[in-house]
Amino acid sequence: MSLNNSSKSNYLASLFMCGCLYFIFGFVSWVNSILIPYFKVACDLHNEVLGYLVAFAFYIAYLVMSIPASIMLNKIGFKRGVEYGLWVMAIGALLFVPAALTRTYALFLAGLFSFGIGLAILQTAANPFVTIIGPIESAARRISIMGICNKFAGIVSPLIFSALVIREADKTTMELVKSGELVGAAKEQALDEMILNVIPPYLCLAVLLFVFGFVFYKSSIPDIDPKSLNKAEEGDGSERKSIFAYPYLILGALAMFCHVGSQVISVDTSIRYAESMGATLDEAKILPSLTLACILIGYLCGIALIPKYLKQQKALLICTVTGLVLSLCVIFASGSVELFGMQTDISLWFLILLGLPNSLIFAGIWPLAIRNLGKYTNLGSSFLVMGLCGNAFLPLIYGWVADNFDLRMGYWVLVPCFLYLIFYAAVGHRIEHWTPKKR
């Protein structure tokens, strides 16, 4: 049964189950914000770039898996694809067990890569599903609802990780390691014991992912044959011979690359930036949650305003311009302030506020980039998911700049990202053909 003809109860059930999926996306994605500083100490990493391999291993999977995921979904369908994606993520969680037992950073990265592979499958399935179940004009609103689930998970995941994994004794160990007071065999033994704490929560996560995969597949929500997304409609431009003949899609994938990379920098670097100002990990652990809380507020504003009072394209333009202004404030603003018990430079709080404009950019890009693709809709979705690999590359560039200059200089990476996003919001999404059509 097509979703357009399904009952309202099935529609709501579909949204609820997708909301659960987006919660999972957020939980396993945004916990990286605390894994980066945690692994930097626990695995004894000596520079910023090595720490940000956490994000690279996790998000490079989107580049590797998005097209294969599209092909796989065409063969097995939406629900079975979601089930398999969740199970691949569960395997990633299980890899944390031998990684912790041996304190091997490469094994942790392999587990994170497996998480990313599973998420690439889920994103390829879920994002177009949410887009097509209602009018395209309100797609940004539905994506914003999903974003609330995602970012709420992101708010709680670093706090849950800290509560379950980082004990009081571990906080002392981490401070002694950072100060250089704990060295040699005593340091190795302390770190070996500390990292074992990741095993119980990740074992529980593996079980939950396996079970939810089975429950989702057996649920009553209607399945969608991804091939049905690709049926060309009259006047949709389906005479184009290649996916690359849709400039607004290709430019949109690059916009997605810039957006997600700049967003993950604003979230995942906040703890390290605060630590550079003298804050401890225990004090700074709330910062990613504060950024994600700002994103959540932005989503709520989007739900209230779009499309009734504000068109999604206009919202996208406002958010991208605001993001550029705040990025420049992070780089140039200075002055000491005390908030949440931390004495830091005011630039840190402009970094936190970047969550507000970042909130509606994804929801603005997706429907503009995927519109009227006809038979290329499913492949177009895969291209946009591939754009999420910006989370892999841009933090590494930030880390290189931070290592070779300083942490604040690293935020210059945000400026060209937001400049391009402004271009896409104002002009790029309107480009229907690479060259003007002859009359």
Closest residue by Cα to residue 282 from 290, 293, 274:
274
Lowest model confidence (mean pLDDT) among 200-214, 226-240, 261-275, 371-385: 226-240
Cα Rg of the chain, angstroms: 22
* Residue 135, pLDDT score: 64
* Residue 232, pLDDT score: 46
pLDDT tens per residue across span 294-351: 988 988 888 888 878 888 889 999 999 999 999 999 999 988 888 777 788 899 999 9
In the predicted model, what is the mean pLDDT of the chain? 86
Query: Please, which pLDDT band fits residue 225 given cuts at 50, 70 and 90?
Result: low
pLDDT tens per residue across span 169-208: 888 888 888 778 888 888 889 899 999 999 999 999 999 9
Query: Please, which pLDDT band fits residue 3 given cuts at 50, 70 and 90?
Result: very low
* Residue 231, pLDDT score: 56
pLDDT at 148 over 80: yes
Q: Which residue has the higher pLDDT, 18 or 340?
A: 18
* Residue 147, pLDDT score: 78
Please tell me the distance from the alpha carbon of residue 303 to that of residue 422, in angstroms, as a whole number. Answer: 22
pLDDT at 104 over 60: yes
Q: Compute the average pLDDT of residues 57-73.
A: 88
Q: Report the half-sphere exposure of 288 (CA within 13 A, side-chain side).
A: 34
Query: Please, which pLDDT band fits residue 353 given cuts at 50, 70 and 90?
Result: very high
Proportion of the chain above pLDDT 90, given as a percent: 38
Closest residue by Cα to residue 421 from 193, 256, 223:
256
Largest Cα–Cα distance of the chain, in whole Å? 77
Q: Which residue has the higher pLDDT, 11 or 301?
A: 301
CA 414, distance to chain mean position in Å, is 16
Query: Please, which pLDDT band fits residue 226 given cuts at 50, 70 and 90?
Result: low
* Residue 345, pLDDT score: 87
DSSP state of 437: P
Q: Which residue has the higher pLDDT, 227 or 61?
A: 61
* Residue 174, pLDDT score: 84
Number of Cβ within 10 Å of residue 247's Cβ equals: 16
Please tell me the distance from the alpha carbon of residue 209 to that of residue 215, in angstroms, as a whole number. Answer: 10
pLDDT tens per residue across span 260-270: 999 999 998 99
Please tell me the distance from the alpha carbon of residue 153 to that of residue 162, in angstroms, as a whole number. Answer: 14
pLDDT at 33 over 70: yes
Number of Cβ within 10 Å of residue 104's Cβ equals: 14
CATH hierarchy code of domain 13-220+244-430? 1.20.1250.20
Please tell me the distance from the alpha carbon of residue 125 to that of residue 353, in angstroms, as a whole number. Answer: 31
Cα torsion for 204, 209, 215, 216, to the nearest 10°? 150
Closest residue by Cα to residue 190 from 175, 206, 207, 210:
175
pLDDT tens per residue across span 69-97: 888 888 888 888 889 999 999 999 999 99
Vertex 338: Cα angle to 335 and 339 (nearest 5): 125
- Tokens standing for residue 257: 């690359």
* Residue 93, pLDDT score: 94
CB 294 within 8 A of CB 355: yes
* Residue 233, pLDDT score: 44
* Residue 227, pLDDT score: 59
Element (H, E) at 362: helix 361-370
pLDDT tens per residue across span 381-428: 888 888 989 989 999 999 999 989 989 999 999 999 999 999 999 999
Q: Report the half-sphere exposure of 278 (CA within 13 A, side-chain side).
A: 8
Phi/psi for 432 (5° steps) reads: -90, -30
Closest residue by Cα to residue 144 from 362, 348, 420:
362
